[in-house]
Chain A
């Protein structure tokens, strides 16, 4: 139990006298804890004050029309999940005088560390944390670093950049992205938000350890001084990115040995191994051997897997899981290999049992080993996540994997 949880209990009057007195003494002595206590006291009111969120009008139309709403409204926001080289790019930053953000990024990329507001082409980006902002201007507009922009006024420049692609990658904290159209978008740490259509196929990825590159855009320096400072930062940025590229290559190799590599869906796969077939088969088998409830069904990669929480936690809970796996194999065909990962977690007498189940066509040698390694990692990650959610302080026991 963390001291912060105790603050919550103190707020609700659930700590006994001695424990409450001891905690109050710590709050008085530790500034960090005092700040958290102040935040805790204000939390209920601040949560209640959070505004309601109006749905897009089209959604109400769709509800009333009884038709599915097309997901076109969903913005392009991706979660980066793999280390990749961070391409060093030239940054062309133009300093504006008031009003508006202190700097405009018209081409290239810029790291922001701290609190700053940047005009990235036609998009305003407010960063509180660490973020990489990339701008790819439209064809024919400011493609070359150093191109003269002094003769352009702000309105004309932003108009010319209206078709630019802007990519915001947040490594720490959050960023608020405001484009011309639509509501502001908050991008959380680990996420990438793209406005427009960049020509590069892959989103940028974070370096293994985000490098500290600081710019201060709100000081009292003159525009010329600030421009010089930014130019120096860009030089440092290039060096940092080169190092990040090298370290990410190393990290990629280390991760591949641990996690395995994502496996492409085979083209000639039978339907029973494809997402719809897998889901139908799992549900049908579970109807016959109802040993638990499906917690996760993941077909984001080949092969699909399901994590099922067992209703039974006592000795012998694995028996119906094995019966279930045999049934799956019988339904999918003789040439099917079934992978089971059985895991038990517990704390203070409370027990949870999870079965991760996957199956696919039997393959030869290395291919099968690759599938097993990757699928085992995926299943284990999901079960770890479920366990963390259910029992942050727990003991985990991998019962069986075959």
Chain B
């Protein structure tokens, strides 16, 4: 887990300092890119769109507020990815959701952990989009189900139902392959 950008760096980033903004990207880019990779077929594009929003909104970030900059960026990313899903434009070939196995090349990762991660990523990729969004945003990003429901424009019951379906399918897939 990358350490948050130091407060001074954050202040400079909000003031438009390019080096401070780069530090912000390097500190939180992996969190954003992980969401993009797991929730969109074109993660590179989504990643740039999210950071464009973050950098535009950065001067308005409340440095003294309760939310950390990581939470704030994560919220922007979550809402953008949900909005993006609402308006899917399919042109040309559909690319699969996962090309790489995130973490498969993590230095020092033990083989069993790596294989487990690969199996889990593969199982996640097989979930319907709506279920995968809830599972990833809730379990990986730590978003509350109520927040996801609000962003999705769905009832909390619908979101819980998607969560249970998604987790049930994952358990079925992973239990069968263990």
Say yes or no: A50 contacts B172, CB within 8 Å.
Answer: no
A residues in contact with B113, CB < 8 Å: 49
Q: Which residue of chain B lies nearest to A51 when distances are taken between CB atoms in the complex?
A: B103
Instruction: Render B26-49 as a binary contact track against A, CB cut-off 8 A, 1 for contact.
Output: 100111111001000000110110
Q: Do residues A389 and B128 form an inter-chain contact, with CB atoms below 8 A?
A: yes
With both beta carbons as reference points, the residue of chain B lying nearest to A45 in the complex is identified as B139
B1: chain A residues at CB < 8 Å are 52
A50-B117, A63-B51 are known contacts. Are A295 and B88 too (CB-CB below 8 A)? yes
Tell me the bound Cα distance from A229 to B140 in angstroms. Answer: 45
Distance A43 CA – B167 CA, assembled complex (angstroms) = 8
Interface residues of A in 67-82 (CB under 8 A from B): 68-69, 71, 73-75, 77-79
Provide the residues of chain B in CB contact with A6, threshold 8 Å.
168
In the complex, B3 has a CB within 8 A of chain A: no
Which residues on A sit within 8 Å (CB–CB) of B109? 51
Flag if A299 contacts B90 (CB, 8 Å): yes
- Report chain B residues within 8 Å CB of A183: 100, 104-105
State whether B139 touches A36 (Cβ < 8 A): no
Q: Which of A7-15, A249-257, A317-325, A358-366 contacts B (4 or more CB under 8 A)?
A: A7-15
Chain B CB within 8 A of A87 CB: no
A38 touches which one: B45, B51, B129, B175 (CB < 8 A)?
Answer: B175
Please give, as numbers and ranges, the residues of chain A lying within 8 Å of B22 by CB-CB distance.
60, 64
Q: A52-B34, A388-B128 are in contact. Are A2 and B102 (CB under 8 A)?
A: no
Q: By the criterion CB–CB under 8 Å, are B163 and A53 in contact? A: no
**For residue A60, which residue of chain B has the nearest CB?**
B25
The count of chain B contact residues (Cβ–Cβ below 8 Å) is 75
Decide if B170 touches A35 in the complex (CB within 8 Å): no
Complex CA distance for A360 and B138, rounded to whole angstroms: 43
Q: A2-B168, A5-B168, A74-B95 are in contact. Are A53 and B140 (CB under 8 A)?
A: no
Question: How many A-B residue contacts, CB cutoff 8 Å?
Answer: 214
User: Which of A104-112, A185-193, A331-339 is the contact stretch?
Assistant: A185-193
The answer to whether A63 and B25 have CB atoms under 8 Å apart is: yes
Q: Tell which of A47, A79, A389 has the most Cβ of chain B within 10 Å.
A: A47
Docked Cα-Cα span, A11 to B45, in Å, equals 36
Question: Is A64 touching B21 in the complex (CB atoms < 8 A)?
Answer: yes
Closest Cβ neighbor of B174 among chain A residues: A39
B33 in contact with A53 (CB, 8 Å): yes
Contacts of B2 in A (CB 8 A): 52
Q: How far is the CB of B167 from chain A (nearest CB, A)?
A: 4
Q: How far is the CA of A2 from the CA of B166 in the complex (A)?
A: 11
What is the size, in residues, of chain A's interface with B at 8 Å between Cβ atoms? Answer: 74
Interface residue A263 (Cβ < 8 Å from any Cβ of B): no
User: In whole angstroms, how far apart are the Cα atoms of A109 and B139 in the complex?
Assistant: 40
Q: Which of A53, A63, A185, A293 contacts B86 (CB 8 A)?
A: A293
Q: Is the CB of A186 within 8 A of B118?
A: yes
Shortest B118–chain A CB gap in Å is 6
Decide: B29 and A54 in contact? CB cutoff 8 A: yes
Nearest CB on B from A395, distance (A): 17
Is A176 interfacial (CB 8 A cutoff)?
yes
Whether B100 and A185, one on each chain, are in contact in the complex, defined by CB atoms closer than 8 angstroms, is yes
Contacts of B163 on A, CB cut-off 8 Å? 8
Instruction: Verify if A40 is at the interface (C-beta below 8 Å from B).
Output: yes
Tell me the complex Cα distance, A37–B174, Å: 10
A300 with B93: in contact, given A5-B164, A47-B139, A77-B99 (CB under 8 Å)? yes
**Interface presence of A46 (CB below 8 A):** yes
Question: What does the 1/0 interface line of A185-219 toward B look like (CB < 8 Å)?
Answer: 11111110100000000000000000000000000
Rounded to whole Å, the gap between the CB of B15 and the closest CB of chain A is 15
Flag the segment in B4-12, B61-69, B119-127 that touches A.
B119-127
Residues of chain B lying within 8 A (CB to CB) of residue A158: none
**What's the minimum C-beta distance from A183 to chain B, rounded to whole angstroms?**
5
Beta-carbon nearest neighbor of B155 in chain A: A350
A71 surroundings in chain B (CB, below 8 A): 44
A346 touches B (CB below 8 Å): no
> 6 shortest A-B CB distances, which residue pairs?
A51-B103, A4-B168, A36-B175, A52-B30, A35-B175, A186-B101
6 contacts between A and B (CB under 8 A): A7-B171, A11-B167, A39-B171, A46-B116, A55-B44, A174-B118
For the complex with contacts A46-B117, A185-B101, 9 further pairs of A-B residues with Cβ separation under 8 Å are: A7-B171, A33-B175, A36-B175, A40-B167, A50-B34, A50-B120, A55-B44, A60-B29, A64-B25
Residues of B that sit less than 8 Å from A by CB: 1-2, 18, 21-22, 25-26, 29-34, 37, 44-45, 47-48, 51-52, 55, 86-106, 109, 113, 115-122, 125-126, 128-131, 135-136, 139-140, 163-165, 167-172, 174-176, 178
State the A residues within 8 Å of B (CB): 2-9, 11-12, 32-33, 35-40, 43-44, 46-56, 59-60, 62-64, 66, 68-69, 71, 73-75, 77-79, 128, 173-174, 176, 183-191, 193, 275, 279, 293-300, 388-390, 392
